[in-house]
Amino acid sequence: MKLGLRPLRLSRDDTHINFLGGTIWAMFGSGLLIALSLAIFLTQGLNFGIDFRGGILIELRTDGPADLANIREIAGGLGLGDVQVQNFGRPEDVLIRIEHQVGDAQAQLASIDLVQAALGERVLEYRRTEFVGPTVGAELIRSATMAVMLAISAILIYVWFRFEWQFGIGAVAALLHDIILTIGFFGLTQIEFNLASIAAVFTIAGYSINDTVVIYDRVRERARKYKAAAITDILNSALNATLSRTLLTSVTTLLALAAPIIMGGPVIRDFAMAMAWGVIVGTYSSIYIAAPMLRAIGYVPGGTRRGK
């Protein structure tokens, strides 16, 4: 017995939206946002977390589920600057991060003793105490930047060989757009930029390139089928054909991110907010950056293509 359920769609199957008709305005808007993001990054900078600035790390275990709010209040009231408190694995395991203190190693050890004395009998066991100097943080920044650049280069090579060099340029342009706007988001909101933020940037890049490759696959399919068609018509046809899939994927991802944004703690909330912003700009760039770039750099549907 068939129930007659219809698949969920957020757009009609026969849409005929002229996406390429708004390319000029889209490029202008993207250029403006990129300029603003770079200006914010250069003038205001990022709110680097302890991972990059260096600092003190204390891992402890309490007798029963930890009262994070109470521990955060106690540690935050010691005058040690930025203090982060979060669960680490089990409910009774707690990770405390404190910004690097002015002075040498003795100053760092004194702040550790101060925290331990303030927490007193609330702690069953101190499992790890260590501190990271600013030099290590600077090395992490260099490593993270290099990792992002290598990832972009790998994506360029993959898309180039998967499709053609014009597709690779378009995909990288969309990725750079998403990454720069995400950096601008971190700079504007001053959400802490830490190792989790780097993970968010990589996740956003993966989400964006996945959406772009789906659209590019339809472009190549139509370019082979309609060799005499204009590139504008092929791009609009491919974008309309993938519109329902693009919207459905984006909306469901945003719905999944809504829960940690509304109910999550400070660390997971910041990560989810960055991811939500990345999903929005990634969806936009797949439609209005990656696809129009093919026309801008002279992709010819009737030309020689790999894989023929």
Tokens of 253: 């991802």
* Cα distance between residue 170 and residue 159, in whole Å: 9
Report the pLDDT value the prediction gives residue 10, as an integer from 0 to 100.
Answer: 52
pTM of the model: 0.75
Kindly provide the b/e burial profile for residues 86-110, where b requires at least 16 CB atoms within 10 angstroms of the residue's own CB. bebeeebbbbbbbbbbeeeeeebee
Report the pLDDT value the prediction gives residue 220, as an integer from 0 to 100.
Answer: 85
Q: What is the CATH number of domain 55-132?
A: 3.30.70.100
User: What are the CA-CA distances from residue 192 to residues 3, 20, 33, 84, 268 (Å)?
Assistant: 49, 37, 21, 11, 11
User: What are the CA-CA distances from residue 4 to residues 7, 13, 119, 244, 248 (Å)?
Assistant: 10, 18, 61, 20, 21
Confirm if 252 and 178 have CB atoms less than 8 A apart.
Answer: no
The domain locations on the chain are 55-132, 137-296
Report the pLDDT value the prediction gives residue 115, as an integer from 0 to 100.
Answer: 82
Report the pLDDT value the prediction gives residue 280, as an integer from 0 to 100.
Answer: 92
Query: Positive or negative, the Cα torsion across 154, 160, 166, 167?
Result: negative
Rounded average pLDDT per 10-residue block, the chain, 308 residues: 51 68 86 93 83 78 81 81 76 80 76 82 77 69 82 81 83 89 90 82 85 87 81 86 85 88 77 90 89 81 48
- 137-296 carries CATH number 1.20.1640.10: yes
Query: 3-class SS at 104?
Result: coil
Report the pLDDT value the prediction gives residue 36, as an integer from 0 to 100.
Answer: 94
